[in-house]
Homo-oligomer: A and B are copies of this chain.
Amino acid sequence: MSSIPNTSSLRTLVRDDKPKEECAIFGIFNSQEAANFTYLGLYSMQHRGQESSGIVSSDGEHLYRYAGMGLVANIFTEGKIRELTGTAAIGHNRYSTTGASFLRNAQPLRVESHLGPIALAHNGNLVNSWEVRSQLEKEGSIFQTTIDSEVIVHLMARSGETDLLSALSSALKKVRGAYSLVVLTKNQLIAVRDPNGFRPLVMGRREDGSIVFASETCAFDITDTTYERDVEPGEMIVVDRTGTRSFYPFPPAKPALCIFEYIYFARPDSNIFGESVYKVRKALGNQLAQELPVEADVVIPVPDSANIAALGYSEASGIPFQSGLIRSHYVGRTFIEPDQKIRDFGAKIKYNVVKNVVDGKRVVIVDDSIMRGTTSRKIIKMIRNAGATEIHLRVSAPPTISPCYYGIDIPTHKELIAATHTIEEIRKYLRVDSIAYLSVDSMHKAVSEHRGGGFCNACFTSDYPVEFQSDMGNQKSLFKEYEVEERV
């Protein structure tokens, strides 16, 4: 078992053993307070990205931009929101990796081109951006950021098209992968979802008639927006003073909605892909209990993401649900660990066990996903030390065996414990009495109680719906290592 990833690098850097979402997007048109609503929408979708945030607004003449590093509530002041004048705006939250991050890469992108000023916010990941970028550079394009989204605006500028819609369609036909986009010009807001529909994108309307787009419906709740419908896979919706028009510029493709949004990413109070995340997550827990029962005294979740699945497990199994792990919400990005080793430091910074909930008990612990297994191992050790007599780990999804190339930052193949170890090896590494994952079929069964098929499950099956470049893993390192961090 010597190949189990080692944890020594955790000394001062707190990182979760969870995948990272790549971004939230928001757009609004025809609102007297476009920037302020965008700010609230971004705030409500902070869970989808904590690295940087930005807003671009339009007053019909100019695009105004402001972006900063950190959390929405800290970046934007009343003064900044006031300066972002105009009746249309788009916004973006970027996710926080453990490595370097730069203000330069904050979205929305805003550029000047012969089409006039254009701003763009992108959720998802293009799989052929590296090829396209090389080709564009050969043709004389110059790049300023390291984000894949920049190729889209270059392709637009070089499309030869003189109207925005044609330029955007032309550009998107040249890229492959996952993209939910909002694009803002002086007088138009465009929302697009890639033909496979990897990432969510919803559309709503406020009482005052303004049109709103967001990654999740929780952004509608905070802005008093009424949900109308999802932007469809392959659909491009154009909003301007004359109203709303819908286009389908791409050849039809097989839907490939990201099932991980239901399992882990989205807020439980959101609806995405037309269904309540809470409901789906509970169904996964129910299914888990039915298929993989165990005799036990108490069910506890790994908070907060597995809370609802654990409630589902408790409901279906009849084993009482308890909040046996308490999670701290004051975690910073790094922690100063004493030289005298603290037991299970990396996990303790975030979680503590309620001893009397588990002491002398047979415990079922429910989690939604296991990547490297490092944090799980520590949590389980903490529960064991608190007196649990048996520990049974139940995971409300199949084993994660493959990275994602469509917008989720899942560890590489060799880091994923389930990609390189048998279930029994994982059980031993984690030191649990039993371990069980949902099967792929059961996962789909649970989800489809509520929401028909058409999901991407590549992280569980290696069955990638859209072909990608073989060297995609290297793409990220483009500037990363040799950028000296900007002052922010």
Interface residues of A (CB under 8 A from B): 12, 32-33, 36-37, 39-40, 43-44, 46-47, 50, 61-69, 71-78, 80-81, 83-84, 103, 111-114, 134, 137-144, 153-154, 157-160, 208, 218, 221-224, 267-269, 276, 278-279, 307-308, 311, 315, 320-323, 326, 328-332, 335-340, 342-343, 348-349, 352-357, 478-479, 481-488
Contacts and interface: CB of A to CB of B under 8 A. Distances in A.
Contact of A354 (B47, B159, B269, B337): B269
B279 A356 contact: yes
A222 B71 contact: no
Contacts of A113: 137, 140-143
A83 B142 contact: no
B80 A268 contact: no
Contact of A138 (B67, B114, B153, B338): B114
B64 A482 contact: yes
A46 B278 contact: no
B137 A75 contact: no
Contacts of A36: 336-338
Nearest to A323: B307
Contact of A141 (B75, B134, B157, B221): B157
B71 A330 contact: yes
Contacts of A484: 64-66, 80, 83-84
A64 B112 CA distance: 26
A487 B65 CA distance: 12
Contact of A143 (B111, B224, B487): B111
B142 A112 contact: yes
Contact of A62 (B65, B78, B482): B482
Nearest to A34: B338
Contacts of A74: 332
A159 B140 contact: yes
22 contacts: A33-B338, A43-B330, A62-B481, A64-B483, A68-B486, A71-B332, A73-B332, A77-B336, A103-B486, A111-B143, A111-B144, A113-B141, A137-B157, A140-B154, A208-B340, A222-B342, A222-B348, A224-B343, A269-B352, A276-B356, A278-B323, A329-B329
Ranked nearest first, the 8 interchain pairs of A and B with the lowest CB-CB distance are A73-B332, A140-B158, A62-B482, A329-B329, A114-B137, A66-B484, A33-B338, A269-B326
Contact of A335 (B73, B103, B267): B73
A149 B150 CA distance: 21
A140 B77 CA distance: 36
B329 A32 contact: no
Given A342-B223, A483-B65, A218 B137 contact: no
Given A62-B482, A354-B276, A484-B66, A330 B144 contact: no
A355 B277 CA distance: 11
Contact of A339 (B33, B61, B71, B348): B33
B330 A46 contact: yes
Given A36-B338, A278-B356, A332-B74, A326 B141 contact: no
Contacts of A76: 336
A395 B65 CA distance: 45
Given A138-B114, A222-B352, A328 B488 contact: no
A203 B481 CA distance: 32
Contacts of A140: 113-114, 141, 154, 157-160
Given A141-B157, A223-B342, A484-B80, A276 B355 contact: yes
Given A33-B338, A40-B338, A268-B323, 10 more contacts: A43-B328, A50-B330, A62-B481, A63-B482, A103-B487, A113-B143, A114-B140, A269-B326, A278-B323, A315-B320
A299 to B, nearest CB: 11
A46 B485 CA distance: 23
A112 B143 contact: yes
Contacts of A157: 137, 140-142
Contacts of A68: 486-487
- Residue from the set A81, A268, A330 with the largest chain B CB neighbour count within 10 Å: A330
B75 A487 contact: yes
